[in-house]
Amino acid sequence: MDFMELLSIIVMLCCVMLCATGRLKSLIRAAATQGAALGLLAFSKSFSVETCALAAATILVKAVVFPYLLNRALEHSPAAQENASALNEPKPYVGYNLSLAVCALMLGLAAWLSARLSSGDLLLTAAFFTILTGFFLLVSRKSAYMQAIGYLVLEGGIYLCAMGLRQASPLLVELGLMLDVLMAVFIMGLMIYQISNEFDHADIARLSNLSDAEDYD
């Protein structure tokens, strides 16, 4: 088994981990591990100065900056300082056992898709699985932390998909992409911090003051 297959498997295992638990600290760690694996994958795919720089940037953003910002928001939130249960995801729309079943289904779907497109390349399987997991986390979890993690997982999946497909796009575009993701992660971290200060929680399901239903005569 070569290095890239090993990394693809690590990426997929992180996806399973993300679906299986509600402890925010573990979730942040899993997302960071996945980010690091993505960076290493970019590194091992092709070896040049440019890809090295990009891989290093990926690892820096996804495995260092992102977990730092989220952990900081988590530790400084007033809710977490009062009771430890705020360190867990509030009761998700889809329970963890069912989430794991969905996870297995998504893995099957991803394997089928990549078999259709490129005779079952493991990298593409991992890419589709990661994209699906990102979407699943975005719709099935309630806290702002999980939505940020879901976005990062989704973005990582698309990045992986590009790696599996493409012939390489210009450095300027890659750098712009990286910068956008960095800024997105940065702003999300700050927003979560502000939201949990303002509302004493980061539960998106309870952030529903702005709705059409209340705006009618």
Partner 1 sequence: MISLLVIVPFACGLAALFSSTAVARLILRGTAIAHLALVAALCVLRPAPGAWLELDAAGLLFLAVTSILFCSAAFYVCAYLDISANRREAHILAPVFGTEPQPVFIAFLLFFLASMTLACSARHLGLLWVALEATTLATVPLICFHRTPGSLEAAWKYLMLCSVGIALALLGTFFLAEAAGKVGLPMLFDTLRDGAQKLDPLWLKAAFAAAFVGYGTKMGLAPMHTWLPDAHSESPAAVSALLSGALLNCAFLALLRVHAVCCAAGLAVFCAHAFLVFGFISVGVAAALMLRRRDYKRLLAYSSVENMGLAALGVGAGAPYAALLQALNHSFTKAALFMLSGNMLRRYKSRNFSDIKGLPSVLPKTAFLWAAGITALVGLPPFGIFFSKLLLLKALLASGHFYVCALVLFALAVVFAAVSSPVMEMLRPAQEETGPAVERRSFILPPLILLCFVLLLGVCIPNALDALLKSAALAVGGQ
Positions in the binding site for partner 1 (CB under 8 A) = 131, 138, 144, 147, 151, 154-155, 158, 161-162, 165-167, 169-170, 172-173, 176-177, 179-180, 183-184, 187-188, 190-191, 193-195, 198-199, 204, 207-210, 212, 215-217
**Which CB, 3 or 75, lies closer to partner 1?**
75
Which residues, other chains included, contact 78 with Cβ-Cβ below 8 Å and sequence gap of 6+?
A: 196, 197, 200
**Which CB, 104 or 139, lies closer to partner 1?**
139
User: What is the smallest separation between the CB atom of 210 and partner 1, expressed in angstroms?
Assistant: 5
User: What is the smallest separation between the CB atom of 186 and partner 1, expressed in angstroms?
Assistant: 9
User: What is the smallest separation between the CB atom of 26 and partner 1, expressed in angstroms?
Assistant: 22
Phi-psi region of 11 (alpha: psi -120 to 50; beta: other; left: phi over 0): alpha
**Count of CA atoms in the C-beta half-sphere (13 A) of 112:** 6
Closest CA relative to residue 62, chosen from 31, 40, 41: 31
In Å, what is the CA distance from 112 to each residue of 32, 124, 215? 27, 10, 46
Closest CA relative to residue 42, chosen from 51, 34, 33, 53: 51
Which residues, other chains included, contact 137 with Cβ-Cβ below 8 Å and sequence gap of 6+?
A: 18, 19, 146, 147, 149, 150, 153
User: What is the smallest separation between the CB atom of 176 and partner 1, expressed in angstroms?
Assistant: 4
**Which CB, 100 or 171, lies closer to partner 1?**
171
User: What is the smallest separation between the CB atom of 103 and partner 1, expressed in angstroms?
Assistant: 20
- Tell me, what DSSP letter sits at residue 215? G
**Which CB, 99 or 143, lies closer to partner 1?**
143
**Which CB, 85 or 209, lies closer to partner 1?**
209
User: What is the smallest separation between the CB atom of 77 and partner 1, expressed in angstroms?
Assistant: 14
Euclidean distance between CA atoms 104 and 129, whole angstroms? 10
**Which CB, 102 or 204, lies closer to partner 1?**
204
**Which CB, 84 or 170, lies closer to partner 1?**
170
Residue 3, both tokens: 């290095």
User: What is the smallest separation between the CB atom of 97 and partner 1, expressed in angstroms?
Assistant: 26
Q: Computed over its alpha carbons, how large is the radius of gyration of the chain?
A: 18
